[in-house]
Amino acid sequence: MSMRWKTAALALLLSLPYGFAQENPGKAAAPRPTEGERAAAAKRGLTWLLRAQNRDGSWGLDQGREGCISCTVVASLALMSHGNTERGGPDPDGVLAIRRGLEFVMRHARRMKSDIWKGEETLVQRKLGRSIHSIFATVFLTQVHGQRAAGLSSDLHQELREAISQLAEIIVRSQEPDGSWHKETFGSLKATCMAWLALRSAASAGVDVEDASVRKTLEFLKAQWNPSSKLFDRTIGNGTYQTIYATASCLRVLFAMGDASSPEARGAAEAFMRLVQTGQMGGAFLTVEGEDYLSAALFTQALLIEQDPRWSEWFPWITGELVKRQNGDGSWTSTACISGRTFATACAVMTFLAPYRMLPILEQ
């Protein structure tokens, strides 16, 4: 594994010591949920996810819907962010659910050739690109690989590692010449961010991903920055929902690459917070589209990775907004794009729990 990928692999998907998560005591506190209220909201979300799992171990876009890889991954990651693994954890029901979700993903991985998903095109694929299930699956499987006990049989480790290697090859092959993924969709920058995370995770597991170009990816992302709006909106236009998703995705990559001090990252972080808090999208954020919740999780991760001072403003605000929008059954709902309750609920839970638990991605 080269230093290009090792450097980026040092960033965990959701990692930071608990102590950094405390609000800045020197800053005046706006109305915000207490730590107990946040924990209770996350617990209700986790309980809903457990109820929504299908009998075959999968999750669909909503309770009772046909399972898909990406929904299964985000739901499993939410359960893992609570401290559970496939081997054990504080919640036996969560442990079993992760194990069943893993088996669903692995059943598809065992028979994959050109992609992990062989069924009809799913909604998530229409929004984020054909290979998005392989991308999400890679993030999930690398975390499972990293936290498996050394005492497990070599056959179990080898099967998982082979699946990760095959998935990484699929992702590398689908990279565009300019370093991006899936420009045929509105979600190219989201797909590019997730592909970057997947390949970094694969590299941390020791899988060779050298045919992918991290340099071209960074150049592509920076080229989307608009010095006028300070947002990443050159491809999709200023002030739209897509601007929110594009900016959060680009910041997640740049911050993890140690590029948070660049003019693009500095300007976009401030502009993003203004846009979703008080700007033209402020009243609509977290009210319609599932990608809003993914953007909230990605931006939260970006600030944690960098230990950014904007955390003391962002985290109380975003968790307060999530508390307000939680349904009585514990879920969150999106009605457009990646619609349903599963994706929104899983991303909301990961946002709440990001400061307190680490998803088990390897750092080396």
Q: Which residue has the tokens 């609000």?
A: 23
Say which residues have a Cβ less than 8 Å from residue 110's Cβ, sequence separation at least 6: 163
The per-residue pLDDT for 85 is: 86
Say which residues have a Cβ less than 8 Å from residue 261's Cβ, sequence separation at least 6: none
pLDDT digits (tens, 9 = 90+) for 205-214: 888 887 788 8
- Reported for 159-166, long-range contacts at CB under 8 A and 24+ positions apart, including other chains, are 159/106, 160/106, 161/205, 161/206, 161/207, 163/106, 163/109, 163/110, 164/138, 164/202, 164/205, 164/207, 165/202, 165/207, 165/208, 166/109, 166/112
The C-alpha atoms of residue 305 and residue 321 are separated, in whole angstroms, by: 22
Higher-scoring residue by pLDDT: 110, 360: 110
Provide the percentage of residues in the chain whose pLDDT is more than 70.
Answer: 84
The C-alpha atoms of residue 320 and residue 359 are separated, in whole angstroms, by: 23
Average pLDDT, the chain: 84
Neighbours of 27 (CB within 10 A): 11
Q: Return the structure tokens found at 116.
A: 């992990």
pLDDT at position 11 over 70: no
pLDDT at position 56 over 90: yes
Amino acid letter at 246?
A
Task: Give me the mean pLDDT over the 83-92 stretch.
Answer: 90
Task: Give me the mean pLDDT over the 305-317 stretch.
Answer: 90
The total number of residues shown for the chain amounts to 364
Per-residue pLDDT band for 237 (boundaries 50, 70, 90) equals low
Per-residue pLDDT band for 235 (boundaries 50, 70, 90) equals low
Phi, psi of 308 (to 5 degrees): -75, 135
The per-residue pLDDT for 50 is: 98
One-letter-per-residue 3-state SS of the chain = CCHHHHHHHCCCCCCCCHHHHCCCCCCCCCCCCCHHHHHHHHHHHHHHHHHHCCCCCCEECCCCCCEEHHHHHHHHHHHHCCCCCCCCCCCHHHHHHHHHHHHHHHHHHHCCCCCCCCCCCCHHHHHHCCCHHHHHHHHHHHHHHHHCCCCCCHHHHHHHHHHHHHHHHHHHHCECCCCCECCCCCCHHHHHHHHHHHHHHHHHCCCCCCCCCHHHHHHHHHHCECCCCCCECCCCCCCCHHHHHHHHHHHHHHHHCCCCCCHHHHHHHHHHHHHHHCCCCCCCCCCCEHHHHHHHHHHHHHHHHHCCCCHHHHHHHHHHHHHHHCCCCCCCCECECCCECHHHHHHHHHHHHCCCCCCCCCCC
Instruction: Tell me how many degrees the CA angle 149-151-152 measures, rounded to the nearest 5.
Output: 80
pTM above 0.85, yes or no: yes
Provide the percentage of residues in the chain whose pLDDT is more than 90.
Answer: 52
The C-alpha atoms of residue 169 and residue 147 are separated, in whole angstroms, by: 23
Beta bridge partners of 60: 67
Beta bridge partners of 59: 68
The per-residue pLDDT for 152 is: 59
The per-residue pLDDT for 337 is: 84
Task: Give me the mean pLDDT over the 174-194 stretch.
Answer: 86
Task: Give me the mean pLDDT over the 262-270 stretch.
Answer: 92
The C-alpha atoms of residue 158 and residue 154 are separated, in whole angstroms, by: 6
Exposure b/e, 173-197, CB count within 10 A at least 16 = b: ebbeeebbbbbebbbbbbbbbbbbb
The reply to whether CATH 1.10.287.130 applies to domain 3-19+32-353 is no
Angle separating helix axes 132-147 and 69-80, nearest 10 degrees: 30
The per-residue pLDDT for 41 is: 98
